Each structure stands twice: as structure tokens, then as C-alpha cells.
Amino acid sequence: MTQVDIQRKEEVFMERIKNHPILDFKREEKVTFEYNGQKIKAYKGETIAAALHAAGIKQLKHSPKKERPRGLFCAIGNCSSCLMEVDGVPNVKTCVTKVEEGMVVREQKGHGDL
Amino acid sequence: MIYTDILIIGGGPAGLSAAITAAEKGADVILIERDDILGGQLVKQTHRFFGSKNEHAGTRGISIAEELKSKVFANDNIEVMLEGTAQGYYDDGVVTVSHEKRYKKIMPKKIIVATGASEKMLPFPNNDLPGVYGAGAVQTLMNVYGVVPGKKVLMIGAGNIGLIVSYQLMQAGVDVVGIVEAAPKIGGYLVHASKIRRAGVPIYTGHTIKEALGKESVEKAVICELDENWNEVEGSEKELDVDTICLAVGLKPISDFLIQAGCEMAYVPHLGGDVAIRDENLKTTNDKFYVAGDSAGIEEATAAILEGEVAGLSAVIDIGCSEESSENDRNEAKKQLADLRRGPVGKKIREGLKLAKEGKNAGKNRYSNIS
């Protein structure tokens, strides 16, 4: 592995990919949203789950019964492993919901109340 | 009530191709897609396609998606409903769709189901920990959003998806610690496997994942050898330092809508699970319904595009708004499909398709309480 490769490897961790041999990621408008009271910066067009990942947050919920930690699994809205409370609405699939300025995202308790 | 000739559910390669084909023959088409973009899983496929000479060989998946999308948006006969979800089919022929925060009723003459597939899970202790992903999720994070899933990845499955996604991880600068494959040999194309091996990534054939370890998320994975009867070999355990476990252990068709609509189903393992019984023109046992793409049986995008053509043409022919050339076009598409499925690589698919046509192992009774 060359020196450049090693450098690149260190850069990407817990961050967004900067240099890619094939893809060019358009990141223009920045937004800030809230996750469990913490301010997170993201780019418009990213899903909540992707933005949380980029900020190093992998754990999105706990299972309702045994309270086991759960994270992203399918990323296309099939599996419900990423459900969170978004702007007061529970059970939002954060893997297919885009971040918006000022959004309030929380880990929900249990099945969520409506 | 919205009236249309053909309703297509799913905007991936099969659905897009069906929409283009049917609209070019003059049919009015509504295409619904639950995502906010068209292209399905093609939008994350950065690799160049193999396949037959006519069908996009040498082109990257992302470019194929762009090509299909621009054809769809350029065609006035196609109405696209993004972020729309088909909710149900009613006996009077109405399909309900949630779209733009409204519940819409659509009355189509024909319906093409191209809902794709979902990833299979693998049972092992702690498989629910954050850091265990389906291969598609890793591709989405990495290739759509440009976010790496972790630092050190263990890939489970050395089929084409496992191999391709491993290579894509390496392109994104992520360390692939190894690839585990339960079968005694690599399932995917050797071209892909060689690229990965040359980069020094070990491929553990005849191995499986025994468990994931970690408290809040994956910290380690334990793998072990399998004997010739697929039993775990005691004492062969090996602990690997990884923060990500990526499952590339196959896909299963998303068949819910077909089942709900009362199409007769068959369980065909060769095709990934429950599929609608259909004829060679991709018409199901419900006269209104056609299937195409992974929801008809797991293959790859080139086959999905061709099946979309066949289903689109069949719908057009059956509602009688087709030109004479439609029959010829359908024969041509069917011929290309047959070419694609020829040889030893296509053997499993050919066997599966035979079962899906005959309705062998039909799971009719399994769903009789639903329809």
C-alpha cells in the first residue's frame, strides 16, 4: 500500500468519502439538526441515518422488549431497524427520510406513542 | 379515481424498462416509486456490467440508471409518482396509492409488479448489533451518500454481490479484513475474486460466521470452518477485529403485493423464495397482473431490464393498443433473455423458471387465508 493510500484511509474514517475513483459526491448546502439534544451538521440530500453515521453514531434505537441496541440494516426502507422519533413523530424510517434544517431527531422509547 | 392503461409498481431497472417499452407503444403509463429518485438499486452500482453484447455490457450501473431515467422523463405517456407507495389491490380492480400525503385510487387496465427484492438475513448470535449490515445498505451508505460504514469490514458471502461490494469498500478506502463463504468454492465470477485476492484480502471458503461480539456495536467477529456436511468444526474458531459485518447472503423477492392481489404463488428456492406463477409472457394467474425483475425471481439488472420489456409488451398486447411490431419485439426480448440465461451460469435460473411456470411446489394454500 502506498503512502497516499494510507493517508486516504485515515481521512475517510467517520467522515464522508472525499476522494473516490469513480464517484463525485455533490455536497452543497449544509444543514444542522438535533439528535438527542446534540447539534449535528449534515448536507442537504442526506438521509438522517447517513448523516448520523457520518457523525459516528451507529446506534439508532433499542429493541422494544429486550432493549438491544439496533442500527441501520437495509438502508432502503425495508427492515424497520432504523425507526426513530422525528419532529415528534415516532417510527420514522430514518434510512429513507432526508435531513432538514432544524429537525429534531430522538431515539424513541419502545413502540412509540402517537 | 385516476384511470390509466398500465400501472407499474417499482422504478428500478425492470419497472423503468417496462414503462419505456409500454409508453413507446402508445400506452398510458403510471409509474410509482417509493423512493424520491428513480433507478432502484442501479443508483449504487458503480461497477461495469457484464452480460450480453446488446445489454449494457461494459457500462456502470449508475450510468444505466441515468439512461433509463432520462427516457422515462422524456416520454409524455409516462406519469411518474415519486415517493408513492402502492397500498393494496381491491377486487374491483382499484389500486390504492399513498402519494403526496394523499390516498389516491388508480384504476389501471393492467398492473406490472416490479417491486424488487429484500436482503436475506443470516442467523447467528448478535446478528442484530449495530454494525451488521446488508450488502445493499453498505452500497447505499457508501455510493449514494459517500459515508463509510466503518473501518474494518468482514464480508459474509463470496457471490458476486459480496465480491463486488468488497471491491467497492476498498475503492472507498475501507479495510476489508476478509470474505467468508460457506460453500467450498467462490460463488461469484473469478474476475472479481482475483481483483480482491490480488489486493491481499483473504477469502475463507468453507467457513461461516459463528457469532458477532460487542456491546453497543460490533467489535469482533468469530468465524469457523465448516466440514463437508456443513457442520461447524470444533476448535477451528478464529476471532477477527472488525467493526462492520456485511451480509451478502442472497436476496428474496418482494412478493407482498402479488400475494395480496391473490396471484398464485410458488416457493422456488432457485429464484430466492416466493414468486408468482406466470407464463412465458410474464403474466400471472391474475389476468391483470404481470411480474418483472427481482420480484419475479432473483437475477441481475440486465435480466430485469429485459423482463421489463417482455412484461411491458405483454401488457400492451393484452389491452390491444399495440402495433403489430409488439409481438416481434417481445420475441426478440425473450430471445435475448434466453441467451443471457444460457450455459452453466444460468442453469439454476432456468430450473427455477421452469418451476415458476409449472407452479410446482405451489404455495397456494399458504396464502389462501390472505387473498
Q: How confident is the model at residue A12 (pLDDT cuts 50, 70, 90)?
A: very low
Distance in angstroms (rounded) separating the CA atoms of residues B351 and B221: 36
Assess whether B127 and B207 both reside in one domain: yes
Q: What is the DSSP letter of B29?
A: E
Q: Which residues in chain A have their CB less than 8 angstroms from residue B173's CB?
A: 5, 8-9, 11-12, 17, 19
Assess whether B170 and B107 both reside in one domain: no
Assess whether B113 and B128 both reside in one domain: no
- Closest-CA distance of chain A to residue B332, Å: 34
Low-confidence stretches of chain B (pLDDT < 50) are 364-365, 368-371
Q: What is the DSSP letter of B88?
A: E
Q: Look at A59 and B130 and tell me if their CB atoms are within 8 Å.
A: yes
- Closest-CA distance of chain A to residue B330, Å: 32
**What is the Cα Rg of chain A in Å?**
16
- Closest-CA distance of chain B to residue A78, Å: 7
CB B159 within 8 A of CB B246: no
Q: Which residues in chain B have their CB less than 8 angstroms from residue A72's CB?
A: 130, 133, 137, 141
Query: Which CATH number do you get for residue B325?
Result: 3.50.50.60
Assess whether B7 and B102 both reside in one domain: yes
Question: Which of B119, B129, B144 lies at the smallest CB-CB distance from A69?
Answer: B129
Q: Which residues in chain A have their CB less than 8 angstroms from residue B36's CB?
A: 98
Listed by number, the residues of chain A in 18-57 with a beta carbon closer than 8 Å to a beta carbon of chain B are 19-23, 25, 27, 46-47, 50, 53-54
Distance in angstroms (rounded) separating the CA atoms of residues B98 and B94: 13
In chain A, the residue whose alpha carbon lies closest to the alpha carbon of B199 is A1
Q: Look at A23 and B46 and tell me if their CB atoms are within 8 Å.
A: yes
Q: Could you say which of B191, B220, B247 is where a domain stops?
A: B247
Give the mean model confidence (pLDDT) for residues A30-46. 94
B133 touches chain A (CB under 8 A): yes
Assess whether B275 and B363 both reside in one domain: yes
Assess whether B233 and B259 both reside in one domain: no
Task: Classify domain A47-114 at the CATH class level.
Answer: alpha beta
Q: Could you say which of B218, B247, B276 is where a domain stops?
A: B247
Q: Could you say which of B213, B232, B247 is where a domain stops?
A: B247
In chain B, the residue whose alpha carbon lies closest to the alpha carbon of A60 is B130
Question: Which of A16, A46, A75 lies at the smallest CB-CB distance from B137?
Answer: A75
Strands B102-113 and B289-291: parallel
Domain that holds residue B285: 2-118+251-367
**Cell numbers found for residue B217:** 456495536
Residue A14 has pLDDT above 80, yes or no: no
Assess whether B92 and B203 both reside in one domain: no
Element (H, E) at B332: helix B325-340
Q: What φ, ψ does residue B244 adopt, rounded to 5°?
A: -140, 135
So what's the pLDDT on residue A114? 72
Q: Look at B143 and A23 and tell me if their CB atoms are within 8 Å.
A: yes
Assess whether B128 and B112 both reside in one domain: no
> Per-residue b/e over B242-267, b at no fewer than 16 CB within 10 Å?
bbbbbbbbbbbbbbebbbbbbbbbbe
In chain A, the residue whose alpha carbon lies closest to the alpha carbon of B46 is A22
Assess whether B143 and B104 both reside in one domain: no
Assess whether B259 and B300 both reside in one domain: yes
B225 strand-pairing partners = B207
CB B193 within 8 A of CB B166: no
A83 touches chain B (CB under 8 A): no
In chain B, the residue whose alpha carbon lies closest to the alpha carbon of A11 is B173
Question: Which of A13, A79, A81 lies at the smallest CB-CB distance from B148?
Answer: A13
Q: Look at A63 and B128 and tell me if their CB atoms are within 8 Å.
A: yes
Chain segment A57-97, per-residue pLDDT in tens: 999 999 999 999 999 999 999 889 999 999 999 999 999 99
Element (H, E) at B19: helix B13-24
Q: Look at B148 and A59 and tell me if their CB atoms are within 8 Å.
A: no
Assess whether B138 and B77 both reside in one domain: no
Q: How is the beta sheet containing A83-86 ordered, strand by strand?
A: A38-43, A30-35, A104-106, A83-86, A89-93
A73 touches chain B (CB under 8 A): yes
Suggest the residue from B148, B242, B254 to mutate for an interface test with chain A (most A CBs closer than 10 A).
B148
Assess whether B22 and B111 both reside in one domain: yes
Could you tell me the pTM of the whole model? 0.88
Domain count, chain B: 2
Q: Look at A23 and B34 and tell me if their CB atoms are within 8 Å.
A: no
